[in-house]
Structure 1
Amino acid sequence: MKPLELLKPLNLLLIFLLELAVLVAAGYWGFARDAGRCGSCSGAGAAPAFAAVAVVSKTPAVVRRQ
């Protein structure tokens, strides 16, 4: 087994954890906005949804197929 073959799963795990961190940060940002109770709750759901769509649309097709 090549040394670089061991790094690929770790790299994918790192990418996954970083994407989760971005979604959590976007949710916190949406909730922490001073938009009232309803605005904060909708922002906490909408901000990560928009971030997830942006990540999926910018991910190359080669990475998504694996």
Structure 2
Amino acid sequence: MEKTKMCKHCQSEIDKKAKVCPSCGKKLGGNVKFVIIGIIALFVLIGAFGNKDDKDTKDTAN
């Protein structure tokens, strides 16, 4: 079982459980934030286009 990983910033080999790289001092991880932002943006886009389609069909019915 591998106990090290590569720092995504400086490419140094560091402990797998490290939260901060001892070589460059940058934080590691944090991908969850971008995934959550992406999901929220997707729902906003779906909602915007979904509402537009509903208005178009209501206007043509009258």
TM-score, scaled to structure 1: 0.45
From the two aligned structures, give the one with the greater helix fraction. 1
TM-score, scaled to structure 2: 0.48
**Which structure would you say has the larger Rg?**
2
From the two aligned structures, give the one with the greater strand fraction. 2
